[in-house]
Amino acid sequence: MLEKLQKDFHEKFGRAAKGSYFAPGRINLIGEHTDYNGGHVFPAAITLGTYGLAAKRSDKKVMLYSVNYPATGIVEFSVDDLDYRKEDDWANYPKGMMKYLKEAGFPIDSGMEIIYDGSIPPGAGLSSSASIELLTGVILDDLFDLHVPMIDLIKTGQMVENKFIGVNSGIMDQFAVGMGKKNEAILLNTNTMNYEMVPADFGDYVIAIMNTNKPHHLIDSKYNERRAECEEALRRLQTKLKINSLGDLNEFAFVANQKLIGDPTLIKRAKHAVTENQRTLLAKNALVAGDLKTFGHLLNASHKSLKEDYEVTGPELDTLVAAAQKQPGVLGARMIGGGFGGCAIALVKKDHWDEFVKNVKKIYHDKIGYDTDIYLANIGDGARKLEDLQAK
């Protein structure tokens, strides 16, 4: 891929790139819609991701091109004019990183050329946007010798989503993309930012990523609505309880105090946030103990809660998950990401893989009317520079 990308870079910009870079996508093993509710998440970086080649310019012109969006062409703007523009489409993600790093005082004082090429299916819910953000952060850090700590690049990526793009997302996606390690998952407390790396050893099992091929668009979906519902439930609980987030409650405390919320829909939303946080902690313990059966049960319970209490699944995701759960050699399955489309994961025994893929594809096509794509997910390293190209 990099060799082709070098040719593409030369073709678009008329010269060689200085360096090559990579940022992964991510899956979240469990802990969905808990990150903005002050709970725990359990993500891992995957080997699918976004590659980038870049070179600095002597003037102020920024030129960005994505192999994934050829119709958009080269997006051009000045490093001194970094306002959001709808027509810049995907390029607003890297532009936002430039803007906020500059505002933080980092000397990004000249233009650049960057080409992007992602292997993450767009709209699949595997964090292609966070991948682009962290990739851009790593590129800027290298080109301008900024020495920005990775945690600050992660926080800048979240700021891009929240303030520049307008998606009220938590920090999980950027954290997993930035801090990922091969064969390890990250248990992150989104309230305190404390985290621990947990060996993700699935033994005879592998993780399947099943793409509904129904893109989810977080801004257009009910994502912000769900967040607002949880914030209102929290506000009502705080009239009597000294808590900072729904993640501060265990299930017993929630059940004892849910009457404070007083609205059936808000109670369901908060119930998911609280119980999913508890499931995430149990899942970490199960993985450490090598108890994959319990881990699988927790995946199934997570999907049930996302379907019934949080109501963010829909027929495509529910069909995929139900089909996967019925297959021989499957310990559990659930939707991942924002919902309303995107992907689901399943824990599948290696020697059942071919049968699993064939059966799930048939069930999905028969019921939904179009295909699902199924990938085997390997857990990989986080955002990084790959090599210095001009030094060769």
Residues 59 and 114 in one domain: yes
Residues 167 and 43 in one domain: yes
> Where residue 338 falls among pLDDT bands split at 50, 70, 90?
confident
- Supply the range of the domain harboring residue 77: 2-197+380-388
Give the C-alpha separation, 332 to 334, whole Å: 7
Residues 141 and 159 in one domain: yes
Which are the contacts of 288, defined by CB distance < 8 A and separation ≥ 6? 198, 199
Average pLDDT score over residue span 300-324 = 97
> Where residue 28 falls among pLDDT bands split at 50, 70, 90?
very high
Residues 97 and 227 in one domain: no
pLDDT at position 139 is: 98
> Where residue 220 falls among pLDDT bands split at 50, 70, 90?
low
Average pLDDT score over residue span 287-301 = 97
Give the C-alpha separation, 128 to 114, whole Å: 17
Average pLDDT score over residue span 271-291 = 97
> Where residue 221 falls among pLDDT bands split at 50, 70, 90?
low
Average pLDDT score over residue span 190-207 = 92
pLDDT at position 217 is: 62
Residues 148 and 234 in one domain: no
Residues 37 and 54 in one domain: yes
Give the C-alpha separation, 323 to 362, whole Å: 9
More confident residue, 57 or 338: 57
Q: What is the pLDDT of residues 81-102, one digit of tens each?
A: 999 999 999 999 999 999 999 9
Residues 191 and 306 in one domain: no
Instruction: Indicate whether 10 pLDDT > 80.
Output: yes
pLDDT at position 223 is: 79
What CATH number has the domain bearing residue 106?
Answer: 3.30.230.10
Residues 164 and 214 in one domain: no
Q: What is the pLDDT of residues 121-174, one digit of tens each?
A: 776 778 889 999 999 999 999 999 999 999 999 999 999 999 999 987 888 899
pLDDT at position 215 is: 66
Q: What is the mean pLDDT of the chain?
A: 94
Q: What is the pLDDT of residues 60-86, one digit of tens each?
A: 999 999 999 999 999 999 999 999 999
Of 189-193, 228-232, 269-273, the poorest mean pLDDT is in 189-193
Please give the helix or strand (H or E) that residue 197 lies within, else none.
Answer: strand 195-199
Residues 64 and 38 in one domain: yes
Of 10-19, 192-201, 220-229, 371-380, the poorest mean pLDDT is in 220-229
* 213 touches 228 (CB < 8 A): no
Most confident by average pLDDT, 34-38, 45-49, 359-363: 359-363
Average pLDDT score over residue span 338-358 = 95
pLDDT at position 236 is: 98
Give the C-alpha separation, 121 to 123, whole Å: 6
pLDDT at position 392 is: 46
DSSP state of 164: I
Residues 288 and 346 in one domain: yes
Of 200-204, 283-287, 318-322, the poorest mean pLDDT is in 200-204
Residues 337 and 226 in one domain: yes
What CATH number has the domain bearing residue 329?
Answer: 3.30.70.890
pLDDT at position 218 is: 56
Detail the DSSP E strand segments found in 37-128. 40-41, 43-56, 61-66, 75-78, 112-118
Instruction: Indicate whether 301 pLDDT > 50.
Output: yes
Of 110-114, 162-166, 213-217, 261-265, the poorest mean pLDDT is in 213-217
Positions marked catalytic: 173
Residues 60 and 72 in one domain: yes
Structural domains of the chain, count:
2
DSSP of 311-359: ----HHHHHHHHHHHTSTTEEEEEEESSSSSSEEEEEEEGGGHHHHHHH
Instruction: Indicate whether 322 pLDDT > 90.
Output: yes
